[in-house]
Amino acid sequence: MIINEFLQDLTKIPNMQAIAVYGVNNNLLDSWTVYDSHLQKLNEISLHYFQIFSILHAKGKNFKEVLISHDNGQIYALILPDLLFIILTKLPTDISLIRLIINVSVSEILSSRNVQKLLKKTREKHLNFFDKKYLDESEKELLKKIGI
């Protein structure tokens, strides 16, 4: 609903592979993918993104976007107070265009009644992204060193 209504332009960008929108408790709100298998991957990695943004927030760093670049593409993520966008693209893709499309649509998305309903449900539950069940041994050790 969110993508179809507000972010159609994203799906038309060349080399776009997948778009997923999550609420702050890692619940999938909407998605668009070229291949079904991409959605499964996005659902598996979204928690890792929440962990990354949470740790940056805990350290007082105001980073809202993260991009991981690999040999064949990019994974771009943008976080807002109530939403997380994760986008898979092949190379080359203009990230500034993706950023622009999302930023232009944000206020409309957040003021939409349907989205507000979805977000209200999301806010009722609070997830601890650093619960031990979400971390492997190396991550636990690294977090211990950071003091989290």
Partner 1 sequence: MVLVGNLKDLRLANIIQLNCMERNVAKVTVTSHEGTGYLYFADGQIVHAEFSPYMGERAVYEMLALTDGQFKVEAGIQSPAHTIKRPWNSVVLDSLRELDEKSQQSTSLPKRIFSVLSAQKSIKSLQVLDLKGKLLEGKEHEPLDSGVIAFIWFKAKKILTYFFNENFRYIYFRSDDSYLFILEFRSSLLAIKADLNIMTEEFIRHVLKTLRGIE
The contact set with partner 1 (CB under 8 A) reads 41, 44-45, 48, 51-52, 55-56, 59, 61-73, 75, 92, 95, 138-139, 142-143, 145-147
Q: Considering the complex, what minimum distance in angstroms separates the CB of residue 117 from partner 1?
A: 30
Nearer to partner 1 (CB atom), residue 123 or residue 132 = 132
Q: Which of 8, 69 has the CB closer to partner 1? A: 69
Place of tokens 């999301």: 122
**DSSP conformation class of 132:** G
CA-based nearest residue to 86, from 6, 10, 9, 4: 10
| Cβ nearer to partner 1, comparing 66 with 110 | 66
76 burial level (CB within 10 Å; 0-12, 13-18, 19+): buried
Q: Reply yes or no: is the peptide bond before residue 92 cis, omega within 30 of 0.
A: yes
